[in-house]
Structure formats: C-alpha cells, structure tokens
Amino acid sequence: MKIETICVQGGYEPKSGDPRVLPLYQSTTYYYKDPDEMAYLFNSPKAGHIYSRISNPTTAAYEEKISQLEGGVGAMATGSGMSAIMVACLNLANKGENILAINNLYGGTFNLFKITLPRLGINTKFFADDMSDEEIESLIDENTKALYMETIANPAMIVCDFDRYAKICKKHGIVFVVDNTLATPYHVRPFEHGANVVVHSSTKYLDGHASCVGGIIVDGGNFEYKGNPRYKEFCVPDASYHDVVYVEEGGKAAYIIKARMQYMRDMGMSPSPFNSWLTNIGTETLHVRMERTSSNALQLAKLLQKNEKVEWVLYPGLKGDKYHDLAEKYYKNGFGGMLVFGIKGGREEAENFIRKLQLIKQVTHIADVRSCVLHPASTTHRQLSDADLTLAGITPNMVRLSIGIENVDDLAQDITQALEKI
Ligand SMILES: *Cc1c(COP(=O)(O)O)cnc(C)c1O
C-alpha cells in the first residue's frame, strides 16, 4: 500500500461484524478463562495482551500503522517523545557505554544527552555536521552503541545527509537512530536511506491537532544484532525474562521486542489507550495535512525572502538554501512546515513582530494544524547569553514559524501586516 492508504486504513482490519473504526479499548486488563492460557501468554507475550502497561489493542493497531508508514518491522508507542528517545537509547547503551549525537538537536533531547544520560553512566559524544568523516569516526570506540540525528534539526534547519551517516554507521557496525518528527514518513522514510531505528514525538504531526503528548519508536529490522559482539545483550539469555534471547525471540524485530520486554515492562512509559486512539485518528489525515502544510510553508518562505524587513530565511525548500540539494535528494512531496527567519534588527524587533501577529499565535508547540510562532532566544533558549546563542545557531533576531493548514493568503496577510508595523 502507498503512504496515503496506510494513513487511512493501516493497522486495523475489521472482521465481519466488527466496528469499522478502530475501537477504543479503555481497559487495563484482559480476561482469560484457563490458567494455562494465561501462563502461555507470560511465556510468549507477543501472542496476546496481558496488561496495558505492556500492550493494549488500540495502541497496538496504532503502532502497526506507524510501523507500516515508516516501513519497519514493529513499533512501540510511549507516553511522550522524550520517553521514546530515552528508551531508544537505553535499549542500546548501558552504563559505561556511549552514543554519538549531532550537536544541533531538539532542546529536550540535547539536555537528555548532555546531562541526564551521563548521570546514568551513558556518555554522549557530540559532533558537528561540518566535521569531516575522519573527525566523526575518531569519536567512535568499542563502547559506542548508536549514532543519533534528526531528519531536520530544529531550529538550525540542518537536513540529515543519510547516505553519509549510514555509511559511517555501517563501517563501524553501529545502530543509526533518527528522529523523524518534523519530516514524517510522508516526506522522508529514513529506513530507505540506511537508518535502523526511527523515533517520533507523535505530539507533533502524527497527532497533528495538538491534543495528545506522545512518542513512538520504530524498528527498521535492518540491523544484524545476531553474532555482533558490540550488541551482546541482544544475543545472550535475559535473566530478567526467563532467559529469553532477543535475537531468537524477536528475529528481525529483536530491537523492539527487547525495548518492550525490558523497558516498557520495568519503566512503564505507556501511552493511555485514549491518546493512542486520538493520535491514530490524527494519522488518518497525515498525508493531506502535510501536503497543505508544506505548500503553505514554501509559499510563505518565498514571500518572507522578498520582504525588505527580513534579513534571511532558512527553509530547505528554497532554491539557494544551504540544504536544498540534500532536501531534494531525500524529501518527497514537499519540505515540511517549519521555517525560520531573521528579522532586520534584533531581539526587540523579533518580539514586536510576534506581538503584532493576530492569526498566528505564540505557543510552545510546533507541527499542528494551526500556524504558530516562537522567539527561541527569549523562550526555549532563554538561559543562554547572546554569545552562547550564536554558538547554538540561534540569533536574537530569529523567529520560528510552524505553518499550519489555514488559507495561505490569510497567513501571508497576517505576516505582512505584522512586518509593516515594526
Ligand atoms: C517535541 C519534540 C521532541 C520531544 O517530544 P515530546 O512529545 O514533547 O516529549 C523530540 N524531538 C523533536 C524533534 C520534537 O519536535
């Protein structure tokens, strides 16, 4: 099936007499008549649902849809994007080991990698996109378990060069993890370009309506853990789960089975069935929303470029953008709804522009149907001095826009009138 059809119909196949729409199973638990049946399930949890911390039928159908959309072999939904990212890493790296990550990351992810994972004994080695392959490879050692990037780094708008990083990961036999939140599988499918694990904050485009915080991890099934000494915990019996061996139990889906059996079981960052149900409804229109969002964003990026009050615009869909060629190579059907621009002047002009907007509201969010705006320097990156902001690629005059699916002329009019007033 093509992406558009999976969005609408993937993950749920009713049998005769079943509800046509994926039902909401708002239940913590599941009934089995025979104790042998229950005992069997404790041995083979994939065979059915036991308890909604581990799995739930509504969540499972939604997971199956996202797995199909990304072209993976299995998925696990979580209570937030952050918990998906945390578990995606914990499932690979243990105390004393490390991961490699690009330094341009979503702020929460940066903090997790810089402060919280090191507290647990897992170190992050940060690299910059403009380092040479040799410089990046020199950071890899025998304890390196993953390389982590975002399809497009927000707000620096760096497009991931999948071929380049997949080659480095292949050469050293390490897992390539990609946060595909902002591109979504409608535009980019990272597994087709060598990624092995995909994570999402489903809070953004997958839900699309700003109603549910959530995350999801997808297993590409394209990494050979079996017999790989770097990942021996996938290949030896797990004493915490009656000696299951994940590469045997899970086969190609060893990664995601291990994530569920170890981390979902013990840490319990499960989504509520209601949120899975709502997010699944959101995904039914993902393709239609992304198409409109992307075409709106491209038109507005061009409009901003022509406005005399605007100093620069970063949007990978623009010809001449530093990342346009890479975006052309990896993106399909458009370039997403996020754009960043610098207003002539500084912090004050950027803040005044936001004050003058009427339709486009200031919120700490991105990627839903409503257009919104944020001033990174005074909000998400407020603790940083102007010098540190520059290091992080954020200038005081930077404005971040997340473009929704409203009428593009109304959005253009709002932006133009606000620029006129400053
Ligand atoms: C929002 C976001 C996250 C964090 O997800 P939450 O659902 O807010 O926990 C991670 N990565 C990216 C790219 C995001 O935009």
pLDDT at 97 over 80: yes
pLDDT value at residue 162:
98
* pLDDT 10s digits, 323-379: 999 999 999 999 999 999 999 999 999 999 999 999 999 999 999 999 999 998 888
pLDDT at 205 over 90: yes
Minimum-distance ligand 1 atom for the alpha carbon of 181: 13
* pLDDT 10s digits, 384-416: 777 777 767 788 999 999 999 999 999 999 999
Over residues 18-29, the mean pLDDT reads: 98
Is the CB of 82 inside a 6 Å radius of any atom of ligand 1?
yes
Question: CB count, 10 Å around CB of 216?
Answer: 28
Tell which residue, 181, 183, 178, has the closest CA to residue 196.
178
Is the CB of 106 inside a 6 Å radius of any atom of ligand 1?
yes
* Residue 190 β-bridge partners: none
pLDDT value at residue 242:
86
Tell me the CA–centroid distance for residue 81 and ligand 1, in Å: 5
In order of 64, 77, 78, the CA distances from 54 in angstroms are 15, 10, 10
Tell which residue, 318, 385, 320, has the closest CA to residue 347.
385
Over residues 278-301, the mean pLDDT reads: 98
pLDDT at 143 over 90: yes
Percent of the chain with pLDDT over 70: 99
pLDDT at 418 over 90: yes
pLDDT value at residue 382:
79
Distance, in Å, from the CA atom of 121 to the CA atom of 124, rounded to the nearest integer, reads 10
Is the CB of 109 inside a 6 Å radius of any atom of ligand 1?
yes
> Helix, strand or coil for residue 201?
strand
pLDDT value at residue 387:
77
pLDDT value at residue 99:
98
Q: Which two tokens stand for residue 4?
A: 């558009």
Is the CB of 321 inside a 6 Å radius of any atom of ligand 1?
no
Q: Which two tokens stand for residue 386?
A: 């102007």
Tell me the CA–centroid distance for residue 366 and ligand 1, in Å: 9
Cβ atoms of 193 and 330 closer than 8 Å: yes
pLDDT value at residue 154:
81
* pLDDT 10s digits, 34-64: 999 988 888 776 789 999 999 999 999 999 9
Is the CB of 215 inside a 6 Å radius of any atom of ligand 1?
yes
The residue whose C-alpha atom lies closest to atom 1 belonging to ligand 1 is 201
Band of pLDDT at residue 164, cut at 50, 70 and 90: very high
Tell me the CA–centroid distance for residue 45 and ligand 1, in Å: 29
Is the CB of 204 inside a 6 Å radius of any atom of ligand 1?
yes
Whole-structure pTM value: 0.97
pLDDT at 156 over 90: no
Tell me the CA–centroid distance for residue 215 and ligand 1, in Å: 8
Tell me the CA–centroid distance for residue 362 and ligand 1, in Å: 18
